[in-house]
């Protein structure tokens, strides 16, 4: 793992925070349960239909969203994120919305910027290269190799949504590119 110095003393943040990660495979959906214990993961409703993962999501205090509900879905996500933070839990979101290939550029959907703006907590960007070894398809092939997880500098609250999105996309893209090419 790279950037452990950015984790400070309270793994992964000193206080509950918003964790922003690129999304390339099923690996990180499972790994973050160890990388950021007691995290509330923002997950799309469709994941409830996946054997084992769906069972886990139904029984854990995750933030399940129905993307078909549009703005109403954001209101629910914001309310549940605030609740998780008030309970001392960080919130993890994969802002790209769906898994992307290891060489596809990082491009956020709007939810992460809105959460950052409305929650008013620090954000911890996390870049990874899991797509080099695990397919973007949940049941796709896996190859031998070492997955890199890179913790980037914490972004304090207070930026505009546009500033946050631009900065975080750039940081994640640069680091994703670096660790993917190094693999």
Q: For residue 28, what pLDDT is reported? A: 81
CA 21/CA 13 separation, integer angstroms:
14
At 8, is the pLDDT very low, low, confident or very high (cuts 50, 70, 90)? very low
Instruction: Report, as an integer, the average pLDDT of 168-182.
Output: 91
Q: For residue 50, what pLDDT is reported? A: 76
Q: For residue 21, what pLDDT is reported? A: 93
In the numeric block, the tokens 């998780």 are attached to 84
At 9, is the pLDDT very low, low, confident or very high (cuts 50, 70, 90)? very low
Q: Which residues make Cβ contacts (< 8 Å) with residue 64, sequence separation at least 6?
A: 43, 44, 45, 47, 48, 57
pTM of the model: 0.84
Instruction: Report, as an integer, the average pLDDT of 152-163.
Output: 95
Q: Does the pLDDT at position 101 exceed 80? A: no
């Amino acid at each position: 793992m790279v950037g452990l110095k950015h984790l400070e003393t309270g793994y992964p943040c000193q206080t509950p925070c918003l964790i922003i990660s690129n999304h390339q495979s099923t690996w990180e959906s499972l790994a973050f349960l160890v990388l950021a214990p007691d995290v509330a993961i923002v997950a799309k409703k469709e994941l409830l239909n996946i054997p084992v993962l769906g069972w886990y999501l139904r029984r854990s205090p995750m933030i399940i969203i129905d993307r078909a509900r549009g703005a109403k879905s954001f209101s629910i996500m914001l309310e549940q994120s605030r609740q998780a933070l008030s309970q001392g839990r960080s919130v993890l979101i994969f802002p790209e919305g769906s898994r992307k290939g290891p060489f596809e550029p990082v491009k956020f959907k709007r939810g992460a910027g809105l959460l950052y703006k409305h929650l008013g907590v620090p954000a911890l960007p996390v870049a990874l290269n899991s797509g080099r070894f695990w397919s973007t398809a949940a049941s796709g092939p896996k190859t031998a190799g070492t997955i890199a997880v890179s913790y980037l500098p914490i972004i304090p609250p207070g930026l505009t949504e546009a500033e946050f999105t631009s900065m975080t996309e750039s940081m994640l893209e640069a680091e994703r590119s670096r660790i993917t090419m190094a693999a």
